[in-house]
Amino acid sequence: MDTEKKKLDFDFQSWIKEQHNDDYQIVEDNESLIRLVTDYGEASIRFTVIEQSTIVEFSIVSKKDDSVKFYLHFELNDENHAKQLFDEMVETLVGLKNEKTLQVLLSCSSGLTTSMFAENLNSVAGMLGLDYHFDAVSYLNIYEEVEKYDVVLIAPQIGYMLNRLKESLTDKLVLQIPTTVFASYDAPGALRFLQNELEEYYTNKTQEAQKHHTHCIEYENRILSIVISNNKAQTRIYYRLSDHCEIIDHNMIIKPSLNVYDLYDIIDTVLLKHQYVDMIGIATPGIVKDDQQLRNSPDEKILDIKNEFEKKYGIKVLVCNNANAAVVGFSLEHPEYQNIIFHSQPFGFGVGGQGIISHGQIVTGRNGVAGEVRYFIHRMQFSDECAKLAWTQEGVLELVTKSLLPSICIMGPEAIAVYSPMTNDMNEVRNKLLSFIPEDYMPELYSIKEMSPYMLDGLTKLCVNDLKKN
């Protein structure tokens, strides 16, 4: 293999070394790795030469919790694009300065006793030189306040909420303060307890991230599946390259926001590493018309990414809604069902979305509108505004059940898969639905912890089906 770098009009490595900034220190470990080091995070810039091309990999790890805050890779072939991505990475790195402190939220029945304990903890943490900050809130307001915190500590008197909170807040460490520690206001003991739990939590999180879930289907192709997932804090793009039912490459891009060039970078990098792909599947939020045109929310602009990508790469492309991909993935796990609904109710969102399979076939509807709950949900009678209901467990339960009711009555599904971090107990959903629907018509209910494996599996299956048709 030729290991000489592709000749470009600019030297990106030299340019990076010239970007002196008071916010970070530039460290050159070797010719393949440059680091931007700060007190609160570290950015790594890695160069990998493949034949005559270079892949650049950007990664940022927070020193607060060792979590990855930014990750992407791209083929180095455009000066302006490379500089733009570098600036985006630096902006994220510098932004960690305001997040370096471990934010801990304490909660009890009223928030009064935990408020006093939080003051004590802040004082002791300061004396010990620990970069921790503690606040307190009533348990009634946990969900509204929790987004900006890393850890939740609940008082023993609300210990009955522990399992529910763990299931709802899957990206947070949720702990119950030991009774003896809380009763004696033992701040040093609480800090030791927190440190030990944090160490175990980060170890387990790393191990869990290495696990991959897939449901194999028979095919003889090489398929690149790309799934776009957004929340209020960041965009994640999962991708997986499968060849004859074997995963040969996979990764996750993490960025503050999505740019269509992120998809180009993924495809460019995969093709550089693996030479060829038979088909590309892209699952994305929003309405997808004719399996190719994405209706971009909120501006409703139509983006024809299928034709753009096919023109550039000469590879067949399929675009679909991510809930539709998820329901297909779920059907691979449960072939015993012919009529399925996959309902997604992301954390903090007042409106969810649905993927539908009827008689074994995915239902997209006219111009891709099937499953778009948002067009009827606001016309239904609720106890409060949807945006407010999204921040309480009772409110989310109401949102989920009333989103499902019309779909159940119209298509009569055998099974419903529910992704809703704040509504993990399917018995509660079932009992709520039974107040409207006779038990004879009640579908089987499944709680989904993570959507991305189902979306990736389903997207691969849809690509396989499309290749077989042609």
Please check whether residue 224 is in contact with residue 281, taking contact to mean a CB–CB distance below 8 angstroms.
yes
Please check whether residue 151 is in contact with residue 131, taking contact to mean a CB–CB distance below 8 angstroms.
no
Position with higher pLDDT, 358 vs 221: 358
What's the pLDDT tens digit per position in 231-274? Answer: 767 889 999 999 988 899 999 999 988 888 899 999 999 999 99
Say whether pLDDT at 304 is over 60: yes
**Mean pLDDT of the 391-404 span:** 92
Percent of the chain at pLDDT > 70 equals: 93
Say whether pLDDT at 167 is over 90: no
Q: How many CA atoms lie within 13 A of 183 on its CB side?
A: 5
What is the 3-class SS of the chain, one letter each residue?
CCCCCCCCCCCHHHHHHCCCECCEEEEEEECCEEEEECCCEEEEEEEEEECCEEEEEEEEEECCCCCEEEEEEEECCCHHHHHHHHHHHHHHHHHHHHHCCEEEEEEECCCHHHHHHHHHHHHHHHHHCCCEEEEEEEHHHHHHHHHHCCEEEECHHHHHHHHHHHHHCCCCEEEECCHHHHHCCCHHHHHHHHHHHHHHHHHHHHHHHCCCCCCCCCCCCEEEEEEEEECCCCEEEEEEEEECCEEEEEEEEEECCCCHHHHHHHHHHHHHHHCCCCEEEEEECCEEECCCEEEECCCCEEEEHHHHHHHHHCCEEEEEEHHHHHHHHHHHHCCCCCCEEEEECCCCCCCCEEEEEECCEEECCHHHCCCCCHHHHCCCCCCCCHHHHCCCHHHHHHHHHHHHHHHHHHHCCCEEEEECCCCCCHHHHHHHHHCCCCHHHCCEEEECCCCHHHHHHHHHHHHHHHHHHC
Q: How confident is the model at residue 8 (pLDDT cuts 50, 70, 90)?
A: low
Task: Identify the pLDDT of residue 171.
Answer: 83
Q: What distance in Å separates the CA atoms of residue 280 and residue 226, rounded to the nearest whole number?
A: 8
What's the pLDDT tens digit per position in 19-35? Answer: 888 899 999 988 899 99
Please check whether residue 403 is in contact with residue 377, taking contact to mean a CB–CB distance below 8 angstroms.
yes
Say whether pLDDT at 3 is over 60: no
Task: Identify the pLDDT of residue 330.
Answer: 97
**Mean pLDDT of the 56-77 span:** 92
Task: Identify the pLDDT of residue 65.
Answer: 79
Q: What distance in Å separates the CA atoms of residue 60 and residue 71, rounded to the nearest whole number?
A: 7
Percent of the chain at pLDDT > 90 equals: 61
Please check whether residue 29 is in contact with residue 48, taking contact to mean a CB–CB distance below 8 angstroms.
no
* 119-123, 195-199, 324-328, range with the lowest pLDDT: 195-199
* 120-129, 342-351, 375-384, 437-446, range with the lowest pLDDT: 375-384
Give pTM, 2 decimals. Answer: 0.84
Task: Identify the pLDDT of residue 92.
Answer: 94
What's the pLDDT tens digit per position in 349-393? Answer: 888 899 999 999 999 988 888 888 888 887 888 999 988 999 888
Say whether pLDDT at 296 is over 60: no
Task: Identify the pLDDT of residue 144.
Answer: 87
Q: How confident is the model at residue 216 (pLDDT cuts 50, 70, 90)?
A: low
Say whether pLDDT at 170 is over 90: no
The mean predicted confidence, pLDDT, of the chain is: 89
Within 10 angstroms of residue 74's Cβ, the number of other Cβ atoms is 21
Task: Identify the pLDDT of residue 347.
Answer: 87
Q: Provide CB contacts within 8 A for 455, sequence distance 6+.
A: 227, 229, 238, 283, 322, 325, 326, 329
* 2-16, 195-209, 414-428, 437-451, range with the lowest pLDDT: 2-16
Q: How confident is the model at residue 5 (pLDDT cuts 50, 70, 90)?
A: very low
Rg (CA), the chain: 24
Task: Identify the pLDDT of residue 215.
Answer: 63
Tokens of 244: 């004859």
